[in-house]
């Protein structure tokens, strides 16, 4: 399993609710969370068999940015 971290613009509970359906159906994701208290709004994804680009593309389709850190 791999842990991938992203700087995002997911900044509130409403944003998390918007991105949740997209991340929850992404094959290979075991767990994810967004630290909205962090200035960089860090999205941490624990996944297997999934590239950082696939996660970033999924977040983008949900209307947010995700830059791997």
pLDDT, residue 21, reads: 96
How confident is residue 58, by pLDDT bands cut at 50, 70 and 90?
Answer: very high
- In the chain, alpha helices (H): 13-24, 52-61
* 46 to 20, 61: CA distances (angstroms): 14, 19
pLDDT, residue 66, reads: 97
In CATH, what is the architecture of 2-68? 2-Layer Sandwich (3.30)
DSSP state of 63: T
pLDDT, residue 52, reads: 95
Sorted by where each begins, the domain ranges of the chain are 2-68
How confident is residue 2, by pLDDT bands cut at 50, 70 and 90?
Answer: very high
| Closest to 56 in 3D by CA, of 11, 31, 23 | 23
């Amino acid at each position: 399993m791999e842990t991938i971290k992203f700087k995002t613009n997911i900044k509130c509970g409403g944003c998390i609710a918007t991105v949740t359906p997209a991340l929850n159906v992404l094959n290979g994701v075991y767990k994810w969370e967004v630290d909205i208290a962090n200035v960089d709004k860090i999205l941490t994804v624990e996944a297997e068999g999934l590239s950082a680009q696939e996660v970033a593309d999924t977040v983008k389709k949900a209307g947010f940015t995700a830059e791997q850190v």
